Each structure stands twice: as C-alpha cells, then as structure tokens.
Amino acid sequence: MAQFQLNILGCGSAIPTARHNPSSQILDIRDNLFMIDCGEGAQLSMRKMRLKYTRLNHIFISHLHGDHCFGLIGLLSSMALQEKTGSVTIHIFEDGAELFDQQLKFFCRDVPFDIKFNVIKPSREVIFESHAITVETIPMSHRVPCVGFLFKEKPKLRHLKGDMVKFYNVPIKDLHGIKEGNDFITADGVVVPNARLTTDADPVMSYAYCSDTTFNPQIAEMIKGTNTIYHEATYSNEFAHLARPRGHSTAAEAARIAQLAEAKQLILGHFSKRYRDESPLLNEAKEIFPNTILANDGMRIDLL
Ligand SMILES: [Zn+2]
C-alpha cells in the first residue's frame, strides 16, 4: 500500500449528478485519514471505498458553499452512531464553526468522541502540524472567503554511507546530527563535509488542493514546487466567459497554474454538471500541462 493515497469521494461542482458527488476527498497518509471538503454524499463514498471512520481525525473545509460542506452533519452523525472514539478536528471558518456547532447541538447530543473546531482564516498560515506533515491554508479567489490546503511532508533525514562512517570512526552520538546535515569534526579538528558521509534524503510528498477559485497566478507562487496539484476546472474553453464572474477556472487555467507552480502532476476536478464526458477539459489542459489527469468519484491516486 502506498504511503500517500488520494481518494476522490466527489469531484462534481454545485449540483450532484449521477456521475459525480460534490467536492470531497480523503488524503490517506500512512493510514491516517485527512478529509478535504465534505459535500453531500461523502459518507456514502467513504463506505463504498472502505475508508474507516475510526481513522478519520481531521476534516478541512475550504469554504462555506453547500457543495463543500453539506455532507458534514450527516457524516458526524453516522460517526457518532458507529461509536467512534478519540477526537475529530474540523478546520473551518468562524461562521462555519458556529453553524455546525448549532447543528451538532440539535442533531447529535450524545457524541462519543470529541469534536473540536479549529477556526481558520482566509490567509496563508500553517493550521496543522504533526511529526510527519504540515498543512497550510492558501487563499483562493472566490465569491466568498475560500482557502486551498497545502499538505507537505516534513524533510526526511539524510542516509548515512556506512563505509565512510566507519572510515572516519564517527561516534554514535554524532550520527543523528550528520543525518540532519551537519559536517563531522574529527578529534584532530579536521572538518569532514556532510556530502562525504551521507546521500540525499528520500523525496518528500507535497499535495495542494485548490478549489474554488478564479485563475490567480499568485496561487502558483504560494504552492511552487508542489508535486501534485488538484485544481478546480469547472469549465472548458467554450464556457470561459462564465468562469470569472462565477469565481471559477477553466481546465486550461488550471493547467497554467500547474505549469507556473512547476508541479509534477495535475488532477482536474469540480466539473460543471453540463459535462457528460470531461475529455475536452483534459485535452485543453494537456496542451499546456501534459501530465494531467481527470479526477473521478471512487478513484484512488498514489501521490508522488
Ligand atoms: Zn464555491
């Protein structure tokens, strides 16, 4: 099993269709589940994809349009009935925390786990940190306050070259510092550069979720160098005139963001209900950024 797997629960836009639920996805980081947006139907998709409630401890809501949060109260209610224990933290704007707190008081009186609200702002800020990852908010350009989420694995330790460690007689107490990148100083005061003792650390995972937004090159700056970008692509070029007034992007604009950000992979989502087949969106994006794929409900993607 991959260490970082993206599970698409829904990749449609405002109105659910027979093909797509509204926005919701789960990033599985070594069996810890991080939900991003929770549109209607998210809990059913979790069941179909056999993603366990017990492993879900964080839910990130990008903004307070219904297609990104109408699934939340239903999901929390089911989790309560399933007797989940521990805690769930909902990262959400202040209005949303107040609203869902009221709904919880009304519908879910006996919740056997802690529900915490972490109030976020439409600014750039690290909102979650564990020993392995950080999650940062990235301001989007939408009709209401909206953020994307940048998940980044923390830098890993460098690999020791066993033969060189032996050759220079490096004491055990110095090994951790060398793995962190320090040079080694011998008893005679000779500096052994780190590069002689180690090889590069394994690459780190990074994933940016960008929805909903009009085209904004500043977003590319903020997520520069991210391996995989999910970007909303509500429209094809034919309906480009609708994108900006409605606070959305075309597939080509999403591709331009991936290109400017120097990403390795682009996933398109948040498709308008007018498309029965999203291949025109894929083709338009690929002309600008070839390594593009279309999201689909039920899809699992191993992240780079
Ligand atoms: Zn929206």
- The CA distances from residue 275 to 215, 270, 294, in Å, are 20, 11, 13
pLDDT tier, 203 (very low <50, low <70, confident <90, very high otherwise): confident
Q: What is the mean pLDDT of residues 154-164?
A: 93
Give the span between the Cα atoms of 266 and 282, in whole angstroms.
Answer: 10
- Decide if 187 contacts 206 (C-beta within 8 A): no
Task: Say if CB 22 and CB 12 are below 8 A apart.
Answer: yes
Structural domains of the chain, ranges and CATH numbers in brackets: 4-156+202-302 (3.60.15.10), 159-199 (no CATH)
**Average pLDDT score over residue span 106-131:** 93
Residue entry with tokens 């480009």? 240
The phi, psi pair for 36, rounded to 5°, reads -120, 115
Centre of ligand 1 to C-alpha 77, Å, is 24
> Strand, coil or helix: what is 40?
coil
Phi and psi angles of residue 86, each rounded to the nearest 5 degrees, phi first:
85, -135
For residue 147, how far is its CA from the centre of ligand 1 (angstroms)? 10
Candidates 34, 97, 46, 42; CA nearest to 70 is 42
Q: How far is the CA of 13 from the centre of ligand 1 (A)?
A: 8
Residue 120 has a CB neighbour count (10 Å cut-off) of 24
What is the Å distance from ligand 1's center to 175 Cα? 50
Would you state the pLDDT for residue 2? 62
What pLDDT is stored for residue 1 in this prediction?
Answer: 54
User: Roughly how many angstroms between the first and final C-alpha of the chain, as a whole number?
Assistant: 13
Distance 55 CA to ligand 1 centre (A): 27
Residues 237, 202 contacting (CB under 8 angstroms): no
What pLDDT band is residue 119 in, cutting at 50, 70 and 90?
Answer: very high
Q: Is 95 a known active-site residue?
A: no
From the list 28, 67, 212, 297, the catalytic residue is 67
Give the chain's mean pLDDT: 94
Q: How far is the CA of 112 from the centre of ligand 1 (A)?
A: 32
Please determine, for residue 302, whether its predicted confidence score (pLDDT) is greater than 70: yes
Separation between Cα atoms, residue 73 and residue 33, nearest integer Å? 18
Q: Ligand 1 mean position to 65 CA, how many Å?
A: 5
| pLDDT at residue 109, as a whole number | 84
Kindly give the distance from the C-alpha atom of residue 248 to the centroid of ligand 1, in angstroms, as a whole number: 8
Cβ atoms of residues 271 and 238 within 8 Å: no
Nearest by Cα to 266 from 230, 302, 234, 237:
230
Question: Quick check: 77 pLDDT over 70?
Answer: yes
Q: Region 124-129: what's the mean pLDDT?
A: 97
Give me the amino acid identity at 298: G
User: In degrees rounded to 5, what are phi and psi of residue 133?
Assistant: -140, 165
DSSP lists the bridge partners of residue 269 as: 232
**Ion ligand 1 residues within 5 Å by Cβ:** 65, 212
- Band of residue 108 on the pLDDT scale cut at 50, 70, 90: confident
> pLDDT tens digits, residue range 167-193?
999 999 999 999 999 999 998 899 999
